[in-house]
Amino acid sequence: MRLSPMEVVNLVLRNIVPIVGLVFFHWSAANLLILYFIDTLLAFTVIAAGFLYSQYPAEEAPGLAARLNTIVGYAAAALFVALILAIPLGMPVFILVFGVGNVSFLDMLRDQGFQVGLGLQAVASLISFRDLVVALRRYTPEQLGLKRRFGFVMLRWLGTMMAAYLPVTYRIDATARQPSAPRAAMLHTASTRSWR
């Protein structure tokens, strides 16, 4: 199945956010990892909500209240799936960012660039869900490859985590931020321990 022009634009915009964040907002590696984590959870949420839509289309519900209830049900069930996945997928990134690194979650939330990134990811997820619903009106989940999409998102996350735990990643981030010698040594020590 070919991607529509809007799907290509959405895909490009969704993946350009980290580059824009690095170039224009000077995001740290911690900001990028947390945004990738949130993007991954949002992608799983979209896939789960799309699957639920394919099983129980909102258009078939009688009346406006029933349709709204169905849509809220999609969101609640998809968020539940994302919360369950957040525990095993988030543990490595939270250990890396908040356990090893000297990063404050509240400072991260105060960062205007980080807020922009969160907003862009949320908008991209809503557009992705809309595109998925439109596609599900014409094709089955099997034809759209929802399982394959789920697998791709999981592989993308595993690749991100593998790259984040490479010792060279710490050195690149340490060089960019110019930390004090003890902090750089701590990061390097933590990175070499993670591979033993």
For residue range 27-83, list pLDDT tens digits in order: 787 888 898 899 999 999 999 999 999 888 888 888 888 889 988 999 999 999 999
Number of structural domains the chain divides into: 1
Q: What's the rounded Cα separation, in Å, for the pair 118 and 115?
A: 5
| Residue 137 located in a structural domain | yes
Long-range contacts (CB closer than 8 Å, 24 or more residues apart) made by 85-88: 85/41, 85/44, 86/41
| Residue 24 located in a structural domain | yes
Q: What's the rounded Cα separation, in Å, for the pair 66 and 57?
A: 11
Q: Return left, alpha or beta for 63; rule: phi > 0 is left, psi -120 to 50 is alpha, else beta.
A: left
Q: Environment class of residue 127 by beta-carbon count within 10 Å: exposed (0-12), middle (13-18) or buried (19+)?
A: middle
Contact 82, 41 (CB under 8 A): yes
At 63, list the tokens: 């009346």
Distances (CA, A) of 172 to 44, 101, 119: 30, 14, 27
Mean pLDDT in residue range 94-107:
84
Contact 184, 174 (CB under 8 A): yes
Backbone angles phi, psi at 103, to 5 degrees: -120, 135
| Residue 98 located in a structural domain | no
pLDDT band at 2 (very low <50, low <70, confident <90, very high): low
Q: Environment class of residue 102 by beta-carbon count within 10 Å: exposed (0-12), middle (13-18) or buried (19+)?
A: exposed
Q: What's the rounded Cα separation, in Å, for the pair 108 and 14?
A: 20
| Residue 136 located in a structural domain | yes
| Residue 174 located in a structural domain | no
Q: Which has more confidence, 11 or 187?
A: 11
pLDDT of res. 24: 80
| Residue 185 located in a structural domain | no
| Residue 176 located in a structural domain | no
Q: Is the pLDDT of residue 156 over 50?
A: yes
Structural domain boundaries, residue 62: 5-89+103-157
| Residue 196 located in a structural domain | no
Q: Which residues contact 173 (CB under 8 A, 6 or more apart)?
A: 28, 29, 187
Q: Which has more confidence, 145 or 18?
A: 145
pLDDT of res. 168: 64
